[in-house]
């Protein structure tokens, strides 16, 4: 059986870290997903002047304080990107990019705001040739032609893996760093425009050419919340929540930039605390109902 956590927190910015710390203080079993480098947005901040008690602190220094707090609380970060979340009644199943599954009674989404718009055809062909995880769905494309759109150099490993299974792999990098891939992967320096097909994916349209493919893998730094959790209420790329950070899904909470403006670190940290306390109340209520 999978180990079941009281709460899964997704995101290592101020909101996610605040939620994880509050849950740990409340003696809940929590798993925290994200980067051990924490938040790139925080790290790159030149100077932060409105974080209570820490005037004129640099983003780099604030990130160090966050890391120290996690260490003191003995909270570890699981570096495994979650690509989909499914409600299973009284718990949630989380599927990762490495095709690992996790179980948690509650979920707190704190992945930051998702600005990327879907390509024309992306949502239409989701599950019909469009995927967000190459290692998860690779077996479906044995001896077929696929295109992989990579948002960062770390996606190159998935292209190499796919090349062992598919008959042809096209890799379209959306970043400026040099691409380091073997001859089994064809690198296409172009920009995606749309995805076309009839009942399933047939072509990836680029700015200067068309690729005939059976599948398109879109590997972004983050997955939009609507694609991450089926049925989750979203408005203009923001998750809809009430003042308790509850979403429209039972046992599912959201906090930080993903819930809307203002995009402020201190606001995110406060919402993370509220989301965690709401998750604790939800868990306690469920336990009382079982007695």
d(CA 278, CA 153): 38
| Calpha distance 160→86 (Å, rounded) | 29
Tokens of 100: 């690992």
pLDDT tens, residue order, the chain (291 aa): 578 999 999 999 999 999 999 999 999 999 999 988 887 667 767 678 888 898 888 888 998 999 999 999 999 999 988 989 999 989 999 999 888 999 999 999 999 876 567 899 988 898 899 987 777 678 889 999 999 999 888 889 889 999 999 999 999 999 889 999 989 999 999 999 999 999 999 999 999 999 999 999 988 766 778 778 989 999 877 999 999 999 999 999 999 999 998 888 899 999 999 999 999 999 999 988 887
* Contacts for 176 with CB less than 8 Å, ≥ 6 apart: none
Q: What is d(CA 259, CA 71) in angstroms, rounded to the nearest whole number?
A: 27
| CA dist 136 → 94, 100, 122 (Å) | 13, 9, 18
* pLDDT for residue 137: 77
Instruction: Please give the domain boundaries of the chain with CATH numbers for all domains.
Output: 4-115+222-290 (3.50.50.60), 130-219 (3.50.50.60)
Q: Concatenate the DSSP letters of all residues of 10-22 into one string.
A: E--SHHHHHHHHH
Residues 6+ away with beta carbon under 8 Å from 232 = 225, 226, 239, 247, 248, 249, 252
Tokens representing 271 are: 């919402």
Model pLDDT, residue 116: 66
Tell me how crowded residue 163 is: count the other CB atoms within 10 A of its CB. 21
């Amino acid at each position: 059986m999978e180990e079941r956590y009281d709460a899964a927190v997704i995101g290592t910015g101020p909101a996610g870290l605040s939620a994880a710390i509050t849950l740990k203080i409340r003696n809940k079993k929590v798993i925290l997903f994200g980067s051990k480098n924490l938040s790139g947005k925080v790290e790159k901040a030149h100077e932060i002047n409105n974080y209570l008690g820490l005037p004129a602190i640099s983003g780099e220094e604030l990130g160090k304080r966050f890391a120290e707090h996690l260490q003191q609380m003995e909270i570890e970060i699981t570096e495994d990107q979650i690509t989909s979340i499914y409600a299973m009644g009284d718990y949630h199943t989380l599927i990762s990019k490495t095709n690992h599954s996790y179980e948690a009674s509650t979920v707190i989404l704190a992945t930051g705001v998702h600005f990327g718009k879907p390509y024309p055809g992306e949502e239409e062909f989701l599950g019909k040739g469009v995927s967000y995880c190459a290692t998860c769905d690779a077996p479906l494309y044995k001896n077929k032609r696929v295109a992989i759109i990579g948002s960062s150099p770390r996606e190159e490993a998935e292209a190499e893996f796919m090349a062992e299974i598919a008959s042809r792999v096209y890799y379209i990098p959306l970043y400026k760093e040099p691409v380091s891939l073997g001859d089994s992967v064809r690198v296409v320096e172009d920009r995606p425009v749309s995805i076309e097909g009839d009942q399933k994916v047939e072509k990836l349209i680029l700015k200067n050419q068309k690729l005939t493919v059976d599948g398109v893998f879109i590997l972004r730094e983050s997955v939009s919340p609507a694609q991450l959790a089926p049925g989750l209420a979203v408005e203009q790329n923001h998750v809809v929540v009430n003042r308790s950070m509850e979403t429209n899904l039972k046992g599912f909470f959201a906090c930080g930039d993903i819930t809307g403006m203002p995009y402020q670190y201190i606001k995110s940290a406060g919402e993370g605390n509220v989301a965690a306390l709401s998750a604790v109340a939800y868990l306690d209520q469920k336990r009382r109902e079982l007695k």
